[in-house]
Chains A and B, each alone.
Chain A
C-alpha cells in the first residue's frame, strides 16, 4: 500500500512540475495518434459511407471483414508494418522504421477498420431513414453518401473518437515499429510499459494519469458538442 501511495505522490509531483521529458512524451503521443486519426478518417469515413449506400457483390463479406478487423490485434499490425518497413521489406528504402511516421502508419492501419465499420453503421442507419426521400429528389451514389455524412457529422465524431481512443491507448504496435527510443519514438503507452518494468513507478503512473485525463477530456468535449448540435439542429 505504501508503495502505491509513494508512487502516487511522485506522480503528482511530476505532473505539477511538468518537466520537459514528460511534456515531450505527451506531445509526441498526441502528434502520432492525431495524425493517425486524421489519415485513417480521410479513408475510413468515405469508405464506410460508400459501403453503407451502395450495393455490390461481396458487400456483406466486406462488412463482416470490417467488423472483424475492428478487433485487429495490435501486435499483429505491428509485426506486419515492421515487415513492410524493415530494411529488407518492400517499403524498406524509405527508412521509416523506428521513426514517428512508422508509428503513425501502424496506428492508422489499426484504427482504419474501426472508424470505417462504425461510420458504415451510422451512415447506414441514417440511409434507412433518408433513402426514399433522397432518391425521390434524385440524390444517389456519392452525392447521397456525402449528404448523409454531413447530416450526421456530429454522430460520426463518436466513431472518430473511438479511433483516437484505440490509437492513443495501444502499445503493442508502436513499440514494435517505433522501438521506444528515448526522445524520438517514446510515447505515453510505451513509456508506461518500460518504466513499470524498470521500476520507475512515479513516471509511469503520472503518464497513466495524463492518458486517462486526455481520454476523459476528449470524450466530454465530444459529448457536449453532440448535445449542443442535437439541440441546435434536431
Chain B
C-alpha cells in the first residue's frame, strides 16, 4: 500500500506567482475524492504535485512507501487530453506495460483484458491517434487499467467530450472505483462531482477551503466560496 498520501505544507510558485500557498492534507484509501473548484483554482497543479509531475516549491509530498519506483508504479494519471503514441490501441497499452516491467508474456493478455473492460476490444488494432476523442480517452483509461494502479488521478477527464462520451468515461471510472482503485479526480463540473465523488475537496485560489463528504458538501457547504460556486454553477448543470 502506498496510501495514505500526505502533503505537508506543500506550496507551489511559478514565475513569481504563488499558485498554491502552503497546504497540508492527507488522502487515504477508500472513497473517491473529487477536487472541485473553478477554472484556474489550482486543481490541476495540486494534482500534478500529488502525482509527482511537479516538484513543490516548499513542503513535502510523501507516500506510505519509501521505494520511489514502487510509488511511481502504483499510480496512474489520465489527463484532460489523452496523449497516444502513433501506433495501435493495443500497442499503446503494451508499451505502457513494458515500461512498467510487466513480463513480456503477460503484456498482450493484460492489454486485451483492459481494452475489453472499456469496450474497445474491437478497435484493438486501430491506430490510436485516428480514434475519436471519446475513444482515445477510454483508451487512456484502459492504459491506466492495465497498470493496476492503487491510485488513479484524473484531471478533468471529460472536459473536452460530448455528453455520451462523458457517460462512457464516467462508467469506466466507476468500474475503477468498484475494483478498489483509489480515485482522485479534479473537475469543475458539479454534476460529475456529485455522480462520482464520495468526498469533495473544494479549492479556491489555491487554498483548500473545504473538505466534506459529497452529500454534506452539496446540501450545506460550510464556506461562503463553496456556496457561491454551487449556486453560481447550478443553472448550467
Contact = CB atoms under 8 A, between A and B. Distances in A.
Contact of B129 (A137, A138, A233): A233
A137 B96 contact: yes
B51 A233 contact: no
A136 interface: yes
Q: Report which residue of B77, B86, B87, B96 has the largest number of chain A beta carbons within 10 angstroms of its beta carbon.
A: B86
Interface residues of A, number: 18
A143 B99 CA distance: 9
Contacts of A54: none
A129 B99 contact: no
A135 to B, nearest CB: 6
Question: Chain A contact residues: over half helix, strand or loop, or mixed?
Answer: helix
B79 interface: yes
B79 A132 contact: yes
Interface size for chain B: under 10, 10 to 19, 20 to 34, or 35 or more residues? Answer: 20 to 34
Given A143-B99, A151-B85, A233-B87, A136 B127 contact: no
Contact of B73 (A130, A135, A138, A143): A138
B234 interface: no
B86 A233 contact: yes
Contact of B99 (A138, A151, A152, A234): A138
Interface of B: 48, 51, 53, 69, 72-73, 75-77, 79, 82-83, 85-87, 95-96, 99-100, 127-130
Interface of A: 129-130, 132-139, 143, 147, 151-152, 229, 232-234
Given A138-B100, A234-B129, 5 more contacts: A130-B83, A134-B83, A136-B76, A137-B99, A233-B130
